[in-house]
């Protein structure tokens, strides 16, 4: 107990010490928060609590001294603990400040050694300038500080232009005399200062200007930038010229393609509410010119279809889309199909792509894939080639049997569109090398060479004949497509003509009302008979 008493006699202190210490730290934290513009909440709360505890012990210090020796000693220990915690908090603040100061010094040194940097007062006299800038000008610090910026520049260069306009130093100085009245606080500006060396070569300084305001008055500005030599400027000019030539070439290509294509091209720009159509669409839709007001155009769209179209466009995200609707040309409705993309570039929003118009009532011309597939003569030539090369293949002879009913109910235009859509889907999924041919109004022959595609079709037919009973969507209509199909392998019938006859016979067999399935393989016909 004697030893403990001796120890505590050394740590006796006035509670004023932790109060003053904690108050001092609290003020430092508040100042640090203001400098960093970030409230140091945790440090503030801990310090505030310790300050409160210190004040509490100061107020009741006389009462504490009247208590037992143990209580008095504990109060002294508490004061020391408070001081230790406060010292740790102070150390973190000082350490952080030191680290930040070191970083700022490193940053300033990097800028000083590598960038054109100068601070000017409101009279364009130099207050501070980087060593890199001084080295470029070939002068010492004492030759620049306090001197007019443009006079210092002309120690080495001759000023010949400002921001792309030709002018001399006197004109540049005159322009900046009333510069403070031309600019606004919080804004940044750029300066391009064109220069000429004594040997006639040209350089240029490119600066970003940050104006300095105090109490609403212009006090000067900070310039930060880089220099472009004549070689750099020539390379830049060459690059810009090449880019311009490339853009001109792209423009010419685009105009050529637009002028030569037989597809309908459109650009629906939301910003100005106009739609541009190429000449193909102007002719097919009976439009009054290439530029049409969007509201005027959509007045001719079937009202039911337009409500669906408008809702789908509203929900449309950036990217590809496929939409269709009925359009009144003035004489009758045609079916229009848009295959396009929604493009968002800055503030510009646009729908653009290919527009297909189905308005012809003959199957020879539809404006769809039906115009692009092969003829019967081309099919026979291909079969002769495969036969001469001894290649195995499968003939698929199919008929889209539901088209007459669709024509009667919805019109032939939609019938053609449904027919073309089904043929395109079948071609993309099962047919090699576009080997699909039209042999009648509703009848088609496909040649399949790939074993994998042959098996894929066989699987699809066995899987509830899904490929033969498809459903297509046009605007708000669900159109059912029914197909009958006959199939024959080349190794089952021999010569091309015989394979074709076998596939045709299988198709006819599938059309028999007594037969329950919609497809027949030629090799299986005898088993069904």
Using DSSP's 3-state secondary structure scheme, residue 333 falls into strand
How many C-beta atoms surround the C-beta of residue 152 within 10 A? 22
Q: Which of 36-45, 55-64, 106-115, 325-334 has the highest mean pLDDT?
A: 325-334
- Fold of the domain built from segment(s) 116-228: Beta-Lactamase (3.30.450)
Distance CA 280, CA 101 (A): 69
Question: What is the model's pLDDT at position 183?
Answer: 83
Same fold, 116-228 and 261-358: yes
Using DSSP's 3-state secondary structure scheme, residue 448 falls into strand
Domain boundaries, the chain: 2-111, 116-228, 261-358, 369-528
Question: What is the model's pLDDT at position 485?
Answer: 94
Nearest partner of 528 among 511, 509, 513, judged by Cα: 509
* Tokens matching residue 65: 């001294």
pLDDT tens by residue, 168-189: 888 888 888 878 778 887 788 8
Whether residue 486 contacts residue 377, with contact meaning beta carbons closer than 8 Å, is answered with no
Query: Which whole number is the average pLDDT over 273-283?
Result: 89
- Fold of the domain built from segment(s) 369-528: Alpha-Beta Plaits (3.30.70)
Whether residue 387 contacts residue 495, with contact meaning beta carbons closer than 8 Å, is answered with yes
Whether residue 343 contacts residue 335, with contact meaning beta carbons closer than 8 Å, is answered with no
Max Cα-Cα span within the chain: 124
* Tokens matching residue 376: 């019967």
Whether residue 408 contacts residue 496, with contact meaning beta carbons closer than 8 Å, is answered with no
Instruction: Give the least confident one: 6-15, 258-267, 268-277.
Output: 6-15
- Fold of the domain built from segment(s) 261-358: Beta-Lactamase (3.30.450)
Query: Which whole number is the average pLDDT over 414-439?
Result: 86
* Long-range contacts from 213-222, C-beta under 8 angstroms, 24+ separation: 213/185, 216/185, 217/180, 218/122, 218/179, 218/180, 218/181, 218/183, 219/121, 219/122, 220/119, 220/120, 220/121, 220/122, 220/127, 221/119, 221/120, 221/179, 222/117, 222/118, 222/119, 222/120
Question: What is the model's pLDDT at position 80?
Answer: 74
Whether residue 116 contacts residue 227, with contact meaning beta carbons closer than 8 Å, is answered with yes
Higher pLDDT, 8 or 280: 280
pLDDT tens by residue, 118-172: 888 888 898 888 888 888 888 888 888 999 989 988 888 888 888 878 888 888 8
User: pLDDT-based confidence at 241, cuts 50/70/90?
Assistant: low
Question: What is the model's pLDDT at position 314?
Answer: 84
Nearest partner of 351 among 242, 244, 282, 274, judged by Cα: 274
pLDDT tens by residue, 13-61: 667 777 777 777 778 777 767 765 667 777 778 878 877 777 777 777 6
């Amino acid at each position: 107990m004697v030893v403990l008493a001796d120890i505590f006699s050394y740590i006796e202190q006035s509670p004023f010490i932790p109060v003053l210490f904690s108050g001092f730290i609290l003020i430092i934290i508040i100042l640090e928060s203001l400098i960093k513009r970030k409230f140091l909440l945790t440090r503030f709360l801990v310090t505030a609590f310790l300050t409160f505890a210190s004040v509490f012990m100061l107020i009741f210090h006389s009462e504490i001294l009247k208590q037992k020796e143990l209580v008095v000693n504990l109060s002294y220990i508490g004061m020391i603990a408070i001081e230790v915690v406060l010292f740790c908090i102070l150390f973190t603040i000082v350490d952080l400040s030191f680290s930040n100061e070191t970083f700022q010094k490193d940053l300033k040194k990097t800028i000083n050694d590598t960038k054109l940097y100068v601070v000017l007062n409101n009279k364009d006299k130099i207050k501070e300038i980087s060593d890199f800038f001084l080295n470029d000008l070939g002068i010492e610090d004492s030759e620049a500080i306090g001197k007019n910026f443009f006079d210092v520049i002309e120690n080495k260069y001759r000023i010949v232009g400002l921001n792309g306009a030709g002018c001399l130093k006197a004109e540049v100085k005159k322009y900046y005399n009333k510069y403070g009245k031309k600019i606004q606080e919080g804004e940044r500006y750029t300066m391009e200062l064109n220069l000429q060396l004594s040997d006639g070569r040209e350089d240029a300084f490119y600066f970003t200007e940050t104006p300095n305001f105090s109490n609403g008055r212009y006090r000067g500005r900070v310039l930060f930038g880089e220099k472009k030599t004549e070689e750099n400027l020539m390379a830049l000019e060459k690059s810009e010229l090449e880019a311009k030539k490339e853009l001109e070439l792209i423009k010419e290509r685009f105009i050529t393609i637009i002028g030569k294509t037989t597809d309908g091209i459109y650009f629906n720009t939301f910003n100005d509410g106009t739609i541009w159509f190429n000449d193909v669409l102007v002719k097919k839709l009976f439009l009054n010119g290439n530029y049409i007001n969007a509201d005027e155009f959509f007045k001719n769209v079937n009202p039911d279809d337009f409500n669906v179209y408008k809702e789908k466009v509203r929900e449309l995200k950036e990217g590809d889309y496929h939409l269709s609707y009925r359009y009144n040309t003035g004489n009758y409705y045609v079916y229009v199909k848009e295959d396009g993309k929604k493009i968002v570039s800055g503030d510009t929003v646009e729908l653009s792509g290919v527009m297909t118009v189905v308005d012809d009532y003959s199957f020879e011309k539809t404006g769809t894939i039906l115009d692009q597939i092969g003829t019967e003569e081309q099919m026979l030539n291909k079969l002769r080639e495969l036969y001469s090369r001894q290649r195995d293949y499968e003939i698929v002879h199919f008929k889209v049997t539901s088209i007459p009913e669709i024509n009667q109910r919805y019109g032939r235009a939609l019938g053609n569109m449904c027919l073309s859509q089904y043929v395109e889907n079948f071609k993309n999924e099962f047919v090699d090398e576009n080997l699909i041919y039209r042999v009648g109004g509703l009848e088609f022959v496909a040649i399949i060479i790939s074993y994998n595609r042959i098996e894929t079709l066989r699987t699809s037919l066995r899987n509830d004949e899904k490929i033969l009973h498809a459903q297509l969507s046009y605007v708000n209509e669900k159109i059912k497509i029914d197909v009958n199909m006959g199939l024959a392998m080349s190794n089952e019938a021999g010569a091309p003509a015989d394979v074709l006859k076998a596939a045709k016979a299988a198709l006819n067999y599938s059309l028999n009302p007594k037969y329950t399935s919609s497809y027949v393989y030629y090799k299986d016909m005898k088993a069904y008979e």
